[in-house]
Amino acid sequence: MSDFMLPDIGEGIVECEVVEWRVAEGDVIEEDQPVVEVMTDKALVEITAPEAGRITRLHVPQGEIAKVHAPLFAYEAEGADSTETAASGGEPAEEASAASASTAAAPAAAPSTAASSTPDSASGSRGRAAKDFILPDIGEGIVECEVVEWRIQEGEPIAEDQPVVDVMTDKALVEITAPEAGVMSRLHVAQGEIARVHAPLYAYTPEAGVDEDEESGAAAERPSTPAATAERAPVREASSGGPDGVRGRGPYGRIPAAPAVRRLLREHDLSLEAVPGSGKQGRVLKEDVLNYIEQGGAASASGEKASAASQATAPASSAPSAPSQGEVRVEPLRGVRAVMARRMVESASTIPHFQYGEEIDVTALLALRERLKPLAQAEGARLTLMPFFMKAMALAVREAPILNARLNDDVSEIHYLPSVNVGMAVDSRTGLLVPNVKGVERRSLLEVAAEVQRLTEAARSGKVAQEDLRDGTISISNIGALGGTYAAPIINAPELAIVAIGKTQWLPRFDAEDRVVKRAIMTVTWAGDHRVIDGGTIARFCNAWKGYLEDPERMLLHLG
């Protein structure tokens, strides 16, 4: 049984009045069926069912006030365990007899299991029912996330603070841990599906509510012997067989599949029986559907009649068509890549970018870094050029503070920020992330180097904390680390400037005596918000920054 949490239904709305329930307790509901009408202070809103199932309880009576992110009604999902349905007294007689028949056909070792095959109802009689884990706030403004990987399966024990699931938000990969010890009862959201903040993510039985009977009941739900595993094979084959075959192991003899998977099947005009499921109990996952489509399943399903007709009318002398050169691989745009796409389009289309390029001689900087590297390693820090770039930038901001400012929402005020939080673009496995080092002007070079190392490792693993991604004031994109010489960066709004650093090249240059010498030259390209930053301002700022990098020992005069 799952609680439906009243979602965000309008900006700033925290409660609403229940005007009319369209269903009653015990009613069967379909996915997207209207369930209740609620009145906010702005409009009448219709709430629909998230998936098919049966209403078990209405938490808020008609005419009462419902709170956003609080339970509105409880329902039993269509894919819930049949024993739970039987315990609630809502199972039809035919399904109940089918359930009893399957119990009678179980191995001889099942008598003790049969007595405990309804752990939820047993624990409920002792007041120790399974608890739903509600997905908490995992970042400012985040309302949903994608379940990337379940670390625990149904029936397995969990320990307090043990990693349970990895979820991907539009900013980073987040690891969700167990709030307390117990046994995993149910995974509400399948891998690859979307989980909602303040909605149930999984159910578990706390350790205090676990006894030998419950553990044996949980063990009965998963095969522990080869014989038990072998029993599933005929069911999987029958699920894709004739119309009289058993359609999976769900409560109504249906093949298990999440609502989003069923929707995807409808969009591609596919039947659930046609797609082989690789999940537990033959569950059809989204990956199964996408793989089936890539293999030509959608085309063969939707064009079967057309193909037969064309074969019937084709002349006998027609040559066979050439084989396909390859299939198009479809990958949904989600998580960090999705938000990056949205923000880059917004930034490029709403901010007038002003580009400014320069060359910087970093010969002295490279020599200084080589002298300091052993000392930094002794302190446990890896000294790259990035800490020097950041420290010099924080010093240059003193001469042009507008580059460390931002505009308010209606573009009527410039807010000069007191701290220089330098962001650095990192090419992570989840997409482009821009964590930032806070308060660079107050940190030593070693402290900045340690933060750069920490943030780089966290970003590449996709596990950056939300606070490390917020409140950046100016950014650096080190494209040169990948071999690029020039780039035209896009501003990371609401910041006003970003610099792209190209690779360092050893090039011939003239010295003060007009002799040709070998120098390390690095190219940089600035992008500034031309609404408030003009060419002269960015040139003066870049010259100050360049001065610190070309003569790095000058920075010693200004370090606090």
Positions marked active-site: 530, 534
Q: How far apart are CA 164 and CA 182, in angstroms?
A: 12
Q: How far apart are the C-alpha atoms of 253 and 257, rounded to whole Å?
A: 12
Q: Which amino acid is at 90?
A: G
**Rounded to an integer, what distance in angstroms lies between the CA atom of residue 148 and that of residue 351?**
34
The Cα 122–Cα 213 span in angstroms is 9
Distances in Å between the Cα of 392 and the Cα atoms of 28, 102, 385, 547 are 66, 73, 11, 9
Task: Select from 386, 467, 472, 385 the least CA-distant residue to 434.
Answer: 472
The answer to whether the CB of 50 falls within 8 A of the CB of 189 is no
Query: Position 132: which residue type?
Result: D
Q: Report whether 552 contacts 364 (CB < 8 A).
A: yes
- Beta carbons of 420 and 404 less than 8 angstroms apart: yes
Using the structure block, give the residue that is written with the tokens 């419950």: 214
Q: Quote the CA–CA distance of 358 and 525 in Å, as a whole number.
A: 6
- Phi and psi angles of residue 298, each rounded to the nearest 5 degrees, phi first: -65, -40
Task: State both tokens at 146.
Answer: 């994608």
Which tokens is 40 given? 């906010």
Phi, psi at 510, each rounded to 5°: -90, 135
Residue whose C-alpha is closest to residue 217's, from 98, 115, 107, 85: 115
Angle at 267 between CA 35 and CA 4, to 5 degrees: 25
Contact 58, 64 (CB under 8 A): no
Q: Which amino acid is present at 71?
A: P
Count Cβ atoms within 10 A of the Cβ of residue 31 and give its class: 0-12 exposed, 13-18 middle, 19 or more buried: middle
**Non-local CB neighbours of 291 within 8 Å, separated by 6+ positions:** none
Q: Give ∠ CA 289-293-296 in degrees, rounded to 5.
A: 145
Q: Do residues 539 and 356 touch, judged by C-beta distance below 8 A?
A: yes
Residue entry with tokens 């509600």: 134
Quickly tell me which residue has 């149904």 as its tokens: 154
Q: Can you tell me whether residue 530 is helix, strand or coil? A: coil
Residue the block writes with tokens 């069923």 = 262
> Which SS3 state, helix, strand or coil, does residue 283 take?
coil
**Interior CA angle at 410 toward 406 and 411, to 5°?**
45
